[in-house]
């Protein structure tokens, strides 16, 4: 059985690269999570998990992460990525992620709408939200990424 994470960090980054994969890697580095191995998770923040924006992740660690990203090779295109955490009063939280050819503001609005819908669907009261986002105008090949990393 895997342990339940006790901490989380919300981050975002954008960058250019010579390929879509290296643009993604550079966006990870820009977000401060480029030297770990992301293990993609779905959308539940464990009960009692505390936000730690100073969280230091050991190099090479397997890190549970909910993220949205977009890589694009159309110069001049505006891309954005956002993540949001919705918290209830006394139970678990919900994480939503989004990325697309849009503005940062549009991505943030989509996140807030999805958080509201996810809490309504669970019959929970949404008492607090936190959103992190980034936008990028593609020069040659760009990537925008937003993530919630969980840790022990």
Give the residue numbers marked as catalytic.
Answer: 37, 42-43, 97
Structure tokens, 135: 């936008």
């Amino acid at each position: 059985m895997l342990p339940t994470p006790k901490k989380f960090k919300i981050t975002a980054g954008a960058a250019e690269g010579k390929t879509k994969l290296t643009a993604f890697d550079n966006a990870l580095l820009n977000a401060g999570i480029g030297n770990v191995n992301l293990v993609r998770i779905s959308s539940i923040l464990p009960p009692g998990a505390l936000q730690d924006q100073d969280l230091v992740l050991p190099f090479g660690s397997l890190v549970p992460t909910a993220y949205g990203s977009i890589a694009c090779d159309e110069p001049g295109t505006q891309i954005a990525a956002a993540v949001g955490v919705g918290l209830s009063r006394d139970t678990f939280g919900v994480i939503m992620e989004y990325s697309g050819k849009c503005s940062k503001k549009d991505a943030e609005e989509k996140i807030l709408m999805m958080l509201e819908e996810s809490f309504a669907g669970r019959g929970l009261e949404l008492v607090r939200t936190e959103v992190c986002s980034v936008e990028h105008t593609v020069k040659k090949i760009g990537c925008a990424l937003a993530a919630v990393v969980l840790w022990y």
